[in-house]
Amino acid sequence: MPAGPGWPGASPRHRPRARRRGRHRARRGTRRRTASAGGSPPARGSSARPGPRSARRPAVRGRSSASSRPGRRCGRPPRGSRRTRRRPRRRGWRPASARWPRRPRPVRRPTGWPRRRPRSRECGGRGRGTGSSSSARTVAGRGKQSAPEALHGPVRFSSGPLDAVKARVVAATNGLFSHVPPPLEHTLSFPGDPGVFGPESVAWRVIGDSSAFIGGIRALLAQAAHPEVAAGVSDHSRYRNDPLGRLSRTAAYVTATAFGAMPEVGHAIATVRRRHRPVQGLSHRAEPYDADAPDMAAWVHNSLAESFLVAYEVYGAQPLAPGDADRYAREQARLGALHHAAPLPETAAELERWIAEHPALAPSPGQREAIDFLRRPPLPFGVRLVYGFLFRAAVATLPPRIREVIGVRTRPGAVPLGRFVTRALRASLGSSPSWRLALIRVDAPPPAGVRFRQPLPPEAEALRAARAAGTSAPSRTA
């Protein structure tokens, strides 16, 4: 049988031509490139060589010979022909081997003007000199500011996602307490007024720390152990219909009495006493209660003061020096006297003993409802998650007798987890901005180791700038 084309032994004339690697067949309907203008097409297998270098017209890199302006790809590698150019991958595409587990996206830092390759002077650029960096560019009409500073303010070296988390924590926390006007809105109108405590007090350090969040929850739990107090809250409070409003009013009272000037302290106490005056009735055990009575006012005030102290001792930023706890008890006794509360212990040991051994503590119907509300408040999911950690941390610091009365128990790891969450809040929020305002009002420096992270109001910044410049501060009326 004769050998046909493609069979072994076939003549070279009948064998199929082997395609050379990297060569493509010409498409139909396309004109072949000629060797020279007006010449015939080159023969198969031959290639047209360029002419001598002296005969070619010199062109600037990145420009076409017929154009006098820089090319679009000046200073960049050539893209190749449209036929052989690779299609770009769709956005977010990754090979199957790298799709799981997901890799975190790299964070660019510092955040500012994006870097570009400097173009050569022939391409219309400024060359690789001292002024070629994009961070040194100037904008017309902006002096010698760099471009990112001129458009977006000073360039900040950000840590990326961590700063975003901190900003969300600050926004969520401030949103919880924004349902009433700021308690220290006019505090700069009383310059030099130290208030009840003053800048050298222990109370400013204790209540200005992030551990005060745990102290506030602990105080509400302890107050619910008193049946008459629980009955007054259940019968006369609107915390079920307006929980955030009640939270904001309580926080405003604590802020005003702790950091406010004496007129602000007096106004806050008068407001509370006016609201407590109609709170009267009988508890489930037929005991009369009066929210303005000295003994009930003492239970509410002493439990709040003792809770802030215990929370700071367990979760605070810095340990208290010997004798600071007793100083704190005496400072809180001065504030309790303004409420006409009695008795008011003046040492930390007496205060803790008075709370733990109070004879009136017992379970009650209103108590169970209040504890259930404190355990599961109507908060957004993220805030409720953090609140759960703070709630467990507060329960872990209660005296055993009070835990038994209100029916709560500690959980393993509550204290270490509470310390971790408190440190995270301290890193995001810093110390209390109300503490900072009070320090500016009395013109006192911040204590060592205390960091304020939240911005000041414009009038406070103006007052600081005026004091730093040695000029008179702008007048501000209440």
Q: What is the DSSP letter of 318?
A: S
pLDDT band at 65 (very low <50, low <70, confident <90, very high): very low
Number of domains in the chain: 1
For position 464, what pLDDT does the model report?
86
Give the tokens for residue 184: 């220290």
Phi and psi at 63, nearest 5°, equal: -115, 150
Express each pLDDT in 353-392 by its tens digit.
999 999 999 999 889 889 999 999 888 888 899 999 999 9
Share of the chain above pLDDT 70, in %: 65
Preceding peptide of 243 cis, ω within 30°: no
Flag whether 347 is in a domain: yes
Angle between helices 414-429 and 212-223 (to 10 degrees): 130
Flag whether 299 is in a domain: yes
What is 167-229 written as a DSSP string? HHHHHHHHHHT-SS--TTTTGGGSTT--TTT-TT-HHHHHHTSTTHHHHHHHHHHHHTTSHHH
Average pLDDT of the chain, as a whole number: 77
How confident is the model over 410-426, as a mean pLDDT?
95
Flag whether 212 is in a domain: yes
Flag whether 388 is in a domain: yes
Contact (Cβ atoms closer than 8 angstroms) between residue 393 and residue 415: yes
Contact (Cβ atoms closer than 8 angstroms) between residue 313 and residue 202: no
Neighbours of 452 (CB within 10 A): 17
Asked if pLDDT for residue 135 goes beyond 50, the answer is no
pLDDT band at 105 (very low <50, low <70, confident <90, very high): low
Asked if pLDDT for residue 247 goes beyond 90, the answer is no
Flag whether 267 is in a domain: yes
Flag whether 461 is in a domain: no
Distance CA 4, CA 11 (A): 9
How confident is the model over 393-405, as a mean pLDDT?
96
Question: Is residue 338 within a helix (H) or strand (E), and if so which, with residue range?
Answer: helix 324-338
Contact (Cβ atoms closer than 8 angstroms) between residue 199 and residue 376: no
Q: Where are the beta strands (DSSP E) in 390-475?
A: none
Coil, strand, or helix at residue 381?
helix
Burial 133-156 (b: 16+ CB within 10 A, else e): eeeeeeeeeeeeebbbbbeeeeee
Flag whether 352 is in a domain: yes
Domain that holds residue 342: 175-441
- Between these two residues, 246 and 38, which has the higher pLDDT value? 246
Flag whether 417 is in a domain: yes
